[in-house]
Amino acid sequence: MNGSSNYGFIKVAAASPRVTVSDCVANAAAIVDMIEKAAGEGVKVLCLPELCLTGATCGDLFRQAALLDAAGEALLTVTEATVGKDMLVCVGLPVAQRGRIYNCAALLFEGEVKALVPKKRPAGYAERCFAPAPAEGDSVSLGGSLLWFSPNGAMEHLPLGPEGASFPGLRVALLQEGEADGEATLLLRPFAAPELVGAAARRREDFCARSRALHAAIVAAGAGVGESTTDFVFSGHCMIAENGALLAENAPFTGGLVTADADIERLLHERQAAPLFAPAPQPEAACYFQFQSVENRFARPVPPSPFVPEDLAEQEERCAAILSIQAVGMQRRLEHTRCQCPVLGISGGLDSTLALLVTVRAADRMGLAREKILAVTMPGFGTTVRTRSNAEILCERLGVSFMTVPITEAVGVHFRDIGQDAAKYDVTFENAQARERTQILMDLANQRGGLVVGTGDLSELALGWATYNGDHMSMYDVNGGVPKTLVRCLVAYEAAHTEDAALAEALRGILDTPVSPELLPPENGDISQKTENIVGPYELHDFFLYYLLRWGFGPKKLLFLAEHAFAGQYERETIKGWLRMFLRRFFAQQFKRSCLSDGPAVGSVGLSPRGGWNMPSDAVASIWLAELEDNA
């Protein structure tokens, strides 16, 4: 987000102040206190409950001129309190207009009432008190000023200047019953609904669903403490939802202020990425306002592993679902090709372990004997005893056929044929081993009427960390949609759920083994070539991958979010360095992804050229790298 420092985040709040029924002066004072508190927390948009200036339960008192006049005076008091706050405030009150009374929301900004928005269809307890909003906009006199009076009220934010598109795409509107301004990215929902058994859960579900359907953020504030309990009880339930997710809420009957950082940039990207999303524009132009500052006191939680749920129950559910997707995809490919011998290389590492576990699941589903699966270990110059032992134990416990084909002699002959110095540990030394292994697997599959199962994962594809026409190639890549952080989670899931203690121990041993292609000779028997020392931590790369592809965030925002997600773990310059490498490799290695093997997608981020990610192989990263290096 060039030219600003909020990265598309805007701090919003819902508040339910204590109400004294029909005492507008006391209510105005409580609302002003809430405005002061919100300003202290850096809130830019504050939503207060329906009819909070009078109380929502006044009944026939709403027809009393004294109450209506007092509400108008109280609104002026609250409006004055917004001066210097740089905050858009929504407050509810009754308004008399042309012989009728309307349930209105007033939009206040910097000492002005920008608009009055009447409720379109009063319902329930308020139906007998208020008229439905007029079909067309009008003007109303309040405090000597003519105000816009329309049920289609919306507020459009203006940029700060030629370079400062602060909060681009920010359009604020009222969420009316059953409909909303189709272009608004931030919807305010003041309400006064009685609290009944199960109502809070239904309300939460409704607002989350509507925010997802509209690709918008919804700030909802409910009437609560102080309302009359003659017939109903009101809980002051407040919540903030964004694109289907609940960002924040208070517990019913607690009231107070609820804040969250809404991501307007993310919402705009989601709309752009949804071809069927077609918002219906409102016929009337919006009112305009302009924040004087774009700084945001960021407090939104940023999970460091976006592909792995933090909730353990959700994590288990996701692992089970992904393993089923992979296994069913593998099963269908085996059945379609009439393959009776899946062949895969097994190294004792995470990726090949997951591929083998999935292949075993697929074989079990289709009634294929596990002995038909051929797992091949191909020790080379860098293979260690540790990984080889893990591979052998894994295959033994799973009951698959196991074969060892050493490659050092064959690769040595190849080196002699092409004039490669076997003591020169360069890219040729490494890639020749990967290609020799792929050739062995392909030929073994040919011998047996089989199919080579790929093991490369989504993170490696993003970085291009694969030898072209080596481990880059297979006949079906079951891991191609699974990022490295999720691969680890899936293997841990299998270790936790197997009843075979020896298999569980082997899987835990694999989880404890550093990620490595093992192409360089070991040092004192230990792995000398650790992938994350070369290309960087996979947890960072998966973080970059998720937010770049799923939400279209630029490098500055990626860096900003990563600093929050990995605070205390990585310094800013370290994150920036690995992000620079990620961007360079992601663009430069697209040619490897343009000819990927088939494989099942498992989530919203994928790199398949057939539907996951479409990018020309000659695209350059200069714009992204320039933004990353711009310290403005």
Taking the C-alpha atoms of residue 223 and residue 52, their distance in angstroms, rounded to an integer, is 7
Three-class SS state of 513: coil
How far is residue 121 CA from its own chain's centroid? 35
Write the pLDDT tens digit of every residue in 289-304: 888 887 788 999 999 9
Among the listed residues 312, 378, 307, 315, the one whose alpha carbon sits nearest the alpha carbon of residue 349: 378
Average pLDDT over residues 127-143: 73
pLDDT of residue 2: 38
pLDDT of residue 536: 87
- pLDDT band with cut points at 50, 70 and 90 for residue 149: low
How far is residue 34 CA from its own chain's centroid? 31
Three-class SS state of 115: strand
Among the listed residues 367, 581, 291, 607, the one whose alpha carbon sits nearest the alpha carbon of residue 480: 607
More confident residue, 80 or 529: 80
Average pLDDT over residues 408-419: 94
What is the phi-psi region of residue 113: left when phi exceeds 0, alpha when psi lies from -120 to 50, beta otherwise? beta
DSSP 251: P
Half-sphere exposure of 128 (CA within 13 A, CB side): 6
142 pLDDT more than 60: yes
- pLDDT band with cut points at 50, 70 and 90 for residue 163: very low
pLDDT of residue 174: 87
403 pLDDT more than 70: yes
Q: What share of the chain is helix, strand, coil (3-state, %, to 5)?
A: 40, 20, 45
Half-sphere exposure of 318 (CA within 13 A, CB side): 20
For the CA atoms of 311, 312, 315, 316, the dihedral, rounded to the nearest 10 degrees, stands at: -150
> What is the domain class of 312-533 according to CATH?
alpha beta
Average pLDDT over residues 44-57: 95
**Axis-axis angle for helices 501-511, 484-497 (nearest 10):** 160
pLDDT of residue 434: 92
Give CA angle at 541 (535, 543), nearest 5°: 165
Three-class SS state of 594: coil
| Other Cβ atoms within 10 Å of 134 Cβ, number | 16
Write the pLDDT tens digit of every residue in 492-550: 999 999 999 999 999 998 998 776 555 556 566 555 455 667 888 999 999 999 999 99
152, 137 contact by CB (below 8 A)? yes
Q: State percent of the chain over pLDDT 70.
A: 88
Taking the C-alpha atoms of residue 119 and residue 136, their distance in angstroms, rounded to an integer, is 13
Q: What is the mean pLDDT of the chain?
A: 88
Half-sphere exposure of 520 (CA within 13 A, CB side): 13
Helices and strands (H, E) in the chain, number of each type: 18, 21
- The residue type found at 380 is G
Average pLDDT over residues 340-365: 95
C-alpha R_g of the chain: 31
The number of residues making up the chain comes to: 632
Judging by beta carbons within 10 Å of its beta carbon (0-12, 13-18, 19+), is residue 508 exposed, middle or buried?
middle
245, 147 contact by CB (below 8 A)? no
Give CA angle at 203 (235, 314), nearest 5°: 115
Three-class SS state of 205: helix
DSSP 627: H
Taking the C-alpha atoms of residue 25 and residue 77, their distance in angstroms, rounded to an integer, is 9
Among the listed residues 565, 362, 366, 349, the one whose alpha carbon sits nearest the alpha carbon of residue 476: 362
Three-class SS state of 435: helix
Among the listed residues 300, 289, 298, the one whose alpha carbon sits nearest the alpha carbon of residue 6: 298
**Axis-axis angle for helices 350-366, 484-497 (nearest 10):** 60
DSSP 320: H
Among the listed residues 433, 473, 465, the one whose alpha carbon sits nearest the alpha carbon of residue 588: 465
Alpha helices in 22-140 (DSSP H): 24-40, 65-80
Among the listed residues 587, 597, 624, the one whose alpha carbon sits nearest the alpha carbon of residue 475: 597
- pLDDT band with cut points at 50, 70 and 90 for residue 3: very low
Write the pLDDT tens digit of every residue in 440-461: 999 999 999 999 999 999 999 9
pLDDT of residue 286: 66
Torsion sign (Cα): 531, 533, 534, 540: positive
What is the phi-psi region of residue 98: left when phi exceeds 0, alpha when psi lies from -120 to 50, beta otherwise? left
Three-class SS state of 560: helix
pLDDT of residue 632: 47
488, 513 contact by CB (below 8 A)? no
347 pLDDT more than 80: yes
| Domain coordinates in residue numbering, the chain | 10-159+167-289, 312-533
Token pair, residue 566, equals 């990995």
475, 355 contact by CB (below 8 A)? no
pLDDT of residue 230: 86
268 pLDDT more than 50: yes
- The residue type found at 628 is L
162 pLDDT more than 50: no
pLDDT of residue 295: 76
Q: Which neighbouring-strand residues pair with 454?
A: 477
Half-sphere exposure of 280 (CA within 13 A, CB side): 5
pLDDT of residue 337: 95
Taking the C-alpha atoms of residue 74 and residue 93, their distance in angstroms, rounded to an integer, is 9
pLDDT of residue 381: 83
Judging by beta carbons within 10 Å of its beta carbon (0-12, 13-18, 19+), is residue 295 exposed, middle or buried?
middle
- The residue type found at 255 is G
Three-class SS state of 10: strand
Fold of 10-159+167-289: Nitrilase/N-carbamoyl-D-aminoacid amidohydrolase (3.60.110)
Torsion angles phi and psi, residue 576, rounded to 5: -60, -40
